[in-house]
Amino acid sequence: MTEHLQGKPNARERRYHRFFQVVEAVVAEIQAHQWADTGQTLRQLRGNDLQKLEASVEVLIRDSVALVHQRKRKGEASIHLNGSWYSSSASPDKLTYSVHVQRAYRGMLELGYLEQTRNGVFDRQGRKDGSTRSRLTRYRATDRLIERFTREEQQVLPAIVPPQLPHLPIRIRLKHEDGRQEILLAPDSDEVGRMRQHLDRINGVLARNWFDLDIPDAELAELQARLAEDPEGAKPLALDRRTLHRVFNDEDLTTGGRFYGGWWQNVPKAYRRHLLVNGKRMVEIDYSNFHPVILYAEEGVVPPDDCYRGIFDGETEARHGTALRSTVKAAFNAMLNAGKPLRQSPRGIEPGRFGMSWREFSEAIIVAHEPIARHFYSGVGKRLQRTDSDVAEQVMLDLAENGIPILPIHDSFLVHEGHRDLLHERMRAALVAVCNVDAQLKATDPDLSRILAARAREQALDPDGFGPSTTSDVGEIEAGMEGHDRRLDAFLAQRKA
């Protein structure tokens, strides 16, 4: 950003000119600010330190205003206040504790551009299942910061902020026995180099397209609020986050490897049918019984048609239906991921709903899948994640090479519904190429209920079929636009800059 301050904006800054104008103004205020504890200004930052301040202010503004869909309901962003985090590889190079926290964050709090909403918590003891209740400090943009943008810009804030710059595209996340997590940079190798190249191609296509939800902004804000209150710590829907990274679970890159980072991965399953790409509806296709199919193939045995049914007697399965199947699927995956037998049911799995103990439930699954029984409680699930992530990479790369944006959610993918047949073909081909097996695919169509309801209302108001009245008044046209329409228009305008 320094070039921009010197009158030589680069391509990124030209495209997001207004955003960087706001960043520049806030940086200048921080430089001249008289601090509350001393009443004095601090030494002016210059050179490399000034670049760090600019980068920090950009991050703080982007992460907070990208969550604003309505002025009264602003999403919360998170920040690390632990100085040791900034000396680890998990922290982007340009973020340092002394500048990012002590100068940029503290300065924007004192200037009234940010407000801290919740203190961070670190749970040293954790839960019996090994998870923790740790939470980062949360903050949000104030009206003063939002008012730095025009009224029109305030309606489309997520679409006019620059996307998050890539950081550690291939990373390793180690979980320690005391509950700590450590993020490491994947070591350089030919394999890691290829992964980075593939990810660059995939992310390049994702960054050139806009993804949104076909729901009113009021409902989007309510969804944001529910996610913020989720005890499991669901991440907010920051629509600017349209790039991916891979996360492995060991330094040899033999486990994990799945793709994370896209905001759509935090959307509750019920809302996925409302996802849009450039204003067009999307279809989701996923592999059925993905991990069981791979394990059965390794044993040379044909798997059941549905590995999550037929575990219990017919009466029990008929009585509980899909609820029982969903619980079996969750338990099945937990049993593959666990390195030793679980004495208690994993969090979120409640066999008591079906009149069984966890031991009875677990044993029934093992007996029903005797050909692959040795894999339960072996930790094989993390190895299978490496396999399914390699399949996902191949699927996404195939479509990205054709300029087609594709959204991954582990072993399922979303594309514009016009590319349904192509995605189906490439998913099957990728599975054969990586695993030498085939699997059934299941498609979930977009939710058209809102369109059908709107058509019904139009029909009731216009029974003779004359059609809606037209207008050339820009104000009336804009008043009838949904939030996602405005954001798409703003994004497309930005892309042409």
* Residue that is last in its domain, among 137, 162, 187: 162
Q: Are residues 71 and 184 in the same domain?
A: no
Same domain (yes/no): 329, 224 = no
Last residue of a domain, one of 162, 184, 210: 162
Residue at a domain's end among 346, 368, 390: 368
Which pLDDT tens digits describe the chain residue by residue (497 residues)?
544 444 556 777 777 889 999 999 999 999 999 999 999 999 999 999 999 999 999 999 999 999 887 666 678 899 999 999 998 888 888 999 999 999 999 999 999 999 999 898 766 554 444 445 678 899 999 999 999 999 999 999 999 998 877 788 999 999 877 667 788 889 999 999 999 999 999 999 999 999 999 999 889 888 888 887 765 556 778 899 999 999 999 999 999 999 999 999 999 999 999 999 999 999 999 999 999 999 999 999 999 999 999 999 999 999 999 999 999 999 999 999 999 999 999 988 999 999 999 999 999 999 999 999 999 999 999 999 999 999 999 999 999 999 999 999 988 999 999 999 999 999 999 999 999 998 889 999 998 776 555 545 545 554 555 555 544 444 433 445 788 999 999 999 988 86
- 277/347 same-domain check: no
226 and 329 inside one domain = no
Are 296 and 435 found together in one domain? yes
| 204 & 349 share domain | no
Tell me: do 361 and 375 sit in the same domain: no
From the list 57, 144, 131, 43, the residue with the least C-alpha distance to 94 is 57
Q: 376 and 441: one domain?
A: yes
Shared domain for 178 and 321, answered yes or no, is no
Check whether residue 240 and residue 318 sit in a common domain.
no
Residues 205 and 246 in one domain: yes
Number of domains in the chain: 4
On whether both 436 and 485 belong to a single domain, the answer is: no
- Range(s) of the domain holding residue 115: 1-162
